[in-house]
Chain A
Amino acid sequence: MISFHLDVRSGVAPYQQIVHQVRQALRLGLLEAGDQLPTVREVVGTLAINPNTVLKAYKELENLGLVAARPGIGTFVLRTLADESLAAHGPLRLELRRWLERARSAGLDDESIEALFRDVVRSFQAEGVA
């Protein structure tokens, strides 16, 4: 079971934040086919949000073919978004951590690290397209 969190100031609609967090969990293998999502009652009980927000998020996940609602029981994961690449996550994560340590000791703060990372991702994507 996963739990959701909400950033009201982010400007991203709350239902989209829930959709995103489920997709993220599916991608990282935290949720697998057959797993149950928190019930609407549980989500509103922790986040203090309108139940329709949760229903809307679950509906969208259903439309994406990721989950299915079983009336009266709950909402269940149909398929994950994790693929063969999941096995490579561990080593990559480790390398990234080492890289972060080097960036830190070189004097970069979080903001500079993020800016650098985004910039490299962007230029990498641009090269890929070209």
Chain B
Amino acid sequence: MTAVIEAAGLGKRYGQNWALSECSLAIPSGKVVGLVGPNGAGKTTFLHLAVGLLQPTSGSMRVLGARPGASPAQLARIGFVAQDAPVYAGMSVRDHLRLGAWMNPTWDTELAADRVAGLGLDPNQKAGRLSGGQRAQLALTLAVAKRPELLVLDEPIASLDPLARREFLQDLMQVVVEQAATVIFSSHLVSDLERVCDYLIVLVGSRVRVAGDIEDLVATHYRLTGPRRDRGRLPGDQQVIVEDHTDRQSTFVVRTSAQVLDPSWTVERMGLEDLVLAYMARAAADARRPKLAEAR
């Protein structure tokens, strides 16, 4: 499978602060990728690097086989909707489509018109008077009508109400079927991703904590609960993500491709949300550790 986005040691620094660091991953094509992490984790930085709006401070990135923003031809293959689905408030829906056709060599006029009709948008309506959901769908239309191979959406549904959110995702999944595009979208809500994504990237504190096929991730993570035990006494193939101990009991979240056979553990499979939370907790624990070392 070819990688749509490849990053090697990718980093972006603003002054003293690394917004993204040591990011290495390869995203296969044809996936719906969820980029999840708390606010300020570096999601937007990653997406802006991918579409060529930012240049990396370190490392390298290839998107659809080329450096992001390398050429107009490369830009034409990527559709991007920035956070909050920006549209020109004073311009009508029709004028947005006209602008899209004017600026994109691969623009599909018929597709754009069909989508606007299908979504029930009035072409004469000023974009500033559209509802949040309609605005998001107009922005998606502009990105989709250029028939991109890769669709990059930054928090597309964060500001939408539940119904508009559902409608947006229904529409987005139809686009995936029709255009066989790879989609990457960011969100700070795991529940948004559960239904629609098949690939997950967890980004916390400027670092990628885990990335992979959701089916594989869910199949290889377990929560183990049992009598108190040190992590050193777990089998070598069980990678500990987080651990929690009381005086008698230990709880581990482990990643392993083997089955957990030890009868002293209660073994539970984990949902996607718990899995993401485990990696976030681990990131928080990692962030505390260096400070403790300094205090000593």
Contact = CB atoms under 8 A, between A and B. Distances in A.
Contacts of B198: 50, 52-53
Contacts of B172: 48
Contacts of A11: 271
Contacts of A52: 198
A81 interface: no
Nearest to B169: A48
Interface in B161-181: 166, 169-174, 176-178
A48 B170 contact: yes
A14 B169 CA distance: 16
B153 to A, nearest CB: 14
Interface string A29-68: 0000000000011001111111111000000000000000
Q: Which of B194, B195, B271 has the most CB atoms of chain A within a 10 A radius of its CB?
A: B195
Contacts, number: 43
B25 interface: no
Contact of A44 (B166, B174, B194, B271): B174
A74 to B, nearest CB: 13
A73 interface: no
Contact of A50 (B166, B171, B196, B271): B196
Interface residues of chain B: helix, strand, loop or mixed (majority): helix
Nearest to B218: A13
B189 to A, nearest CB: 13
B166 A48 contact: yes
Contacts of B169: 48
A51 B178 CA distance: 10
A6 interface: yes
B162 to A, nearest CB: 11
A8 interface: yes
Contact of B194 (A8, A40, A45, A46): A8
4 A-B pairs closest in CB distance:
A44-B173, A48-B169, A48-B170, A41-B177
Interface of A: 6, 8, 11, 14, 40-41, 44-53
Given A45-B174, A51-B177, 19 more contacts: A6-B195, A14-B195, A40-B177, A44-B173, A44-B174, A47-B195, A48-B166, A48-B169, A48-B170, A48-B196, A50-B32, A50-B173, A50-B195, A50-B196, A50-B197, A50-B198, A51-B173, A51-B176, A52-B198
Interface of B: 32, 166, 169-174, 176-178, 194-198, 271
13 contacts: A11-B271, A14-B195, A41-B174, A44-B170, A48-B172, A48-B173, A49-B195, A50-B176, A50-B196, A50-B197, A51-B173, A52-B198, A53-B198
